[in-house]
């Protein structure tokens, strides 16, 4: 196109072209109402591009021509969010929804709200969270969530998404949040192209969207036709001249529409949780019929004043939660069923499966819970079964495909298998407050049976317990066989003369073991509590207890004798006052310390010189506290256990599986699939040095 306009004329024409192109973009990409042929749209764009080439100073950062970038970036820059970013807690069934509602109402009452809450329910798009910042109505930054405080600046890529306005109809300052997603038909096209050139296809649309946004070349992103739904306002400059500040979540969504953002229209106001459940069930059937991936619905208190009053936990909003759809499922074959004995004596049947990929991970085992579950499912060795896995939850068998049976399948005898593993009688414990019903699980009748005690002591001396080097499971078994050790206190009574004449031991190895035991006598309280192997008490729970000792007792704990005396008096209610400790863990903890035999064992340990260190974590590391970490690969200068300890001490949380709720992945040498998964999800990857900087 030949440009013959003066600069003054060109300036007017550019303004007119920009306005019309943006109007058509809004109709086509936001309102799904195209009113003009693509050829006409392209012609207007060509004219605008030509004018900007002749008069470069007429090209603005928000011009429609700037949606497709030029020179690729060398790397992403970090950008600090104006508003801290959060992630939703999850629930998976109606009973959990009822508990959440009751908790919300209790909090509302404490804050002085007497009305019944109403809920804005929005479908949860399974995409990549992006935060858009506008100054004076113009897009200045688009960033990933990152660690919630600092994200990556991906503005050059987000500009390629036509449903994202580069300039708003009002000159306001606003920060909005949304989800970038890829249409399913576009995913198929991209994967077909990747297969043709020998590249690995994307596993799903969510991974493709995340991978696209992390491209340094925005021209690649532009070719992938991404979309973005905006669903929240994080920060809005009060400016009554142009608009009214919304008072409800639904008013907020309508304001976003007014400002030209693409919102998902499938939101609904629900007056109670029965209406929420009905909506949830309707979307289970409809979710696979949409052009975007959906993994649940998001429930928010509709009243924004109530939202503000309830606030946030260290990681999530208290006024909102994600109601997730049923877990991903697949089929495989049960190759064997074996029974495992736990350190508490519970006997658990475990299905050994033909390896299969579920929810992004390879699964080769699945819990069958107990004999009742095996009977309910009717599962046999050799059966084809349906397996499901949700996040970090252990895979489980949920259905047997009876029609796939060949006649070669074998029955599994739970009781015989349990007796063989336990080495003696088995029982079903009574449960309930007064022991009024029978447990579904089998236990070794003798709580001090060889099998249980071996597991218990092996756990006690393990790396995650007291970390007694040279005292692994085989050594424990040998010491028990010789009658030298029967409980944890016996380990601290060992002398060189007790073990130097045993098989596996020479003078040097015996001395090393005794030295390691002496070193282990000085131990942090949280590690000691975890090492005891109390049922339902994991590493994170012991840290919660130590950091909240003031909620349990006003007395100081200086040694094991204090610990025994004080903890034998605590109640379930006191422990439940600690946020994060449930009734099962509290009941189990109280029962253990109420047992006279356990009290005597603690007394012996005290007399044998076991010294506990109480280091309550009172310092808050804002960079770490409340964040979730996954560690993978070998770190250069510290063990992964040491790194985990440092993170926990700073208030962080350690998980084993990468998910979109992960804040950081700490990657060392030979990092495996977790690193790849993190990159696909757009999670920030840091090395040991960067971790040290956070600490």
Q: Which residue blocks in 357-472 are alpha helix, DSSP H?
A: 371-377, 414-422, 450-461
Q: Which two tokens stand for residue 448?
A: 């001090």
Q: Which two tokens stand for residue 210?
A: 């995340």
Beta-strand pair 346-358/437-444: antiparallel
Long-range contacts of 281-287 (CB under 8 A, 24+ apart): 283/123, 283/325, 284/325, 284/326, 287/123, 287/325
Q: Rg for the chain (alpha carbons), in Å?
A: 30
Q: Are 628 and 663 a contacting pair, CB within 8 Å?
A: yes
Number of residues assigned to the chain: 695
- Cα–Cα distance between 221 and 213 in angstroms, integer? 7
Q: Which two tokens stand for residue 405?
A: 């049976």
Residue 263 three-state SS = coil
Which is catalytic among the residues 59, 98, 101, 124? 124
Q: Are 229 and 178 a contacting pair, CB within 8 Å?
A: yes
Nearest to 101 by CA among 324, 320, 326, 325: 320
Rounded alpha-carbon distances, angstroms, from residue 651 to 88, 626, 628:
19, 6, 10
DSSP-assigned letter for residue 634? B
Beta-strand pair 119-125/268-270: antiparallel
**522 flagged as catalytic:** no
- Cα–Cα distance between 427 and 381 in angstroms, integer? 24
For the CA atoms of 635, 637, 638, 639, the dihedral, rounded to the nearest 10 degrees, stands at 50
For the CA atoms of 515, 517, 518, 521, the dihedral, rounded to the nearest 10 degrees, stands at 160
Q: Name the phi and psi angles at 524, rounded to 5.
A: -65, 145
Q: Are 500 and 516 a contacting pair, CB within 8 Å?
A: no
Residue with tokens 């936990």: 313
Show Cβ contacts of residue 69 under 8 Å, excluding neighbours closer than 6 positions. 156, 157, 159, 160, 217, 218, 219, 222
The sign of the torsion formed by the CA atoms of 631, 635, 641, 642 equals negative
The residues annotated as belonging to the active site are 124
């Amino acid at each position: 196109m030949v440009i013959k306009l003066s600069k003054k004329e060109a300036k007017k024409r550019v303004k007119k072209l920009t306005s019309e192109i943006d109007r058509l973009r809004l109709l086509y990409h936001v309102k799904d109402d195209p009113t003009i042929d693509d050829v006409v749209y392209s012609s207007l764009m060509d004219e605008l591009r030509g004018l900007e080439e002749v008069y470069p100073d007429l090209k603005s950062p928000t011009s429609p021509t700037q949606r497709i970038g030029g020179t690729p970036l060398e790397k992403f820059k970090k950008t600090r969010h104006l508003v801290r970013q959060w992630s939703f807690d999850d629930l998976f069934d109606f009973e959990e929804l009822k508990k959440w509602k009751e908790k919300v109402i209790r909090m509302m009452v404490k804050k002085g709200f007497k009305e019944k809450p109403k809920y804005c329910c929005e479908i949860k798009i399974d995409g990549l969270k992006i935060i858009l910042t506008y100054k004076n109505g113009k897009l200045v930054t688009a960033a990933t969530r990152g660690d919630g405080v600092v994200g990556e600046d991906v503005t050059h890529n987000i500009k390629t998404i036509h449903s994202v306005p580069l300039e708003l109809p009002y000159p306001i300052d606003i920060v909005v949040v949304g989800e970038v997603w890829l249409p399913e038909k576009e995913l198929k096209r991209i994967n077909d192209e990747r297969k043709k050139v020998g590249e690995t296809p994307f596993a799903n649309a969510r991974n493709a969207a995340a991978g696209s946004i992390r491209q340094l070349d925005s021209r690649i992103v532009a070719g992938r036709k991404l979309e973005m739904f905006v669903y929240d306002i994080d920060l809005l400059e009060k400016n009554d001249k142009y608009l009214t500040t919304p008072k409800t979540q639904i008013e907020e969504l309508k304001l976003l529409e007014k400002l030209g953002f693409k919102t998902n229209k499938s939101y609904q106001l629900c007056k109670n949780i029965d209406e929420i459940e009905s909506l949830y069930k309707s979307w289970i059937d409809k979710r696979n019929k949409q052009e975007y991936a959906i993994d649940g619905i998001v429930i928010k208190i509709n009243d924004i004043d109530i939202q503000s009053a309830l606030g946030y936990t260290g990681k999530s909003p208290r006024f909102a939660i994600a109601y997730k759809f049923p877990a991903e499922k697949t089929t495989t074959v049960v190759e064997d069923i074996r029974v495992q004995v736990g350190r508490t004596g519970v006997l658990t049947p475990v299905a050994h499966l033909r390896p299969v990929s579920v929810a992004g991970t390879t699964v080769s085992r699945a819990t069958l819970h107990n004999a009742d579950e095996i009977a309910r499912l009717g599962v046999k060795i050799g059966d084809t079964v349906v397996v499901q896995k949700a996040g970090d939850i252990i895979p489980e068998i949920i259905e047997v495909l009876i029609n796939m049976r060949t006649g070669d399948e074998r029955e599994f005898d739970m009781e015989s298998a349990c007796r063989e593993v336990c080495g003696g009688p088995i029982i079903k414990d009574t449960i309930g407050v007064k022991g009024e019903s029978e447990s579904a699980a089998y236990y070794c009748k003798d709580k001090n049976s060889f099998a249980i005690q071996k597991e218990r002591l092996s756990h006690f001396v393990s790396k995650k317990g007291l970390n007694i080097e040279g005292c692994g499971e085989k050594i424990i078994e040998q010491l028990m066989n010789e009658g030298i050790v029967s409980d944890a206190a016996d380990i601290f009574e060992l002398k060189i003369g007790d073990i130097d004449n045993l098989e596996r031991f020479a003078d040097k190895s015996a001395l090393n073991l005794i030295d390691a035991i002496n070193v282990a006598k000085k131990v942090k309280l949280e590690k000691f509590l975890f090492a005891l192997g109390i049922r339902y008490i994991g590493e994170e729970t012991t840290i919660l207890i130590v950091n909240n000792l003031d909620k349990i007792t006003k007395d100081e704990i200086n040694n094991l004798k204090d610990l025994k005396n004080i903890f034998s008096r605590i109640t379930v209610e006191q422990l439940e006052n600690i946020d994060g400790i449930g009734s099962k863990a509290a009941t189990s903890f109280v029962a253990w310390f109420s047992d006279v035999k356990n009290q005597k064992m603690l007394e012996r340990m005290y007399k044998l010189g076991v010294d506990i260190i109480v280091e309550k974590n009172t310092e808050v590391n804002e960079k770490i506290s409340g964040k979730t970490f996954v560690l993978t690969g070998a770190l250069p200068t510290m063990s992964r256990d040491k790194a985990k300890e440092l993170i926990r001490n700073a208030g962080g949380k350690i998980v084993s599986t990468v998910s979109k709720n992960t804040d950081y992945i700490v990657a060392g040498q030979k990092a495996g699939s977790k690193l790849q998964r993190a990159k696909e999800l757009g999670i920030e990857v840091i090395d040991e040095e960067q971790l040290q900087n956070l600490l």
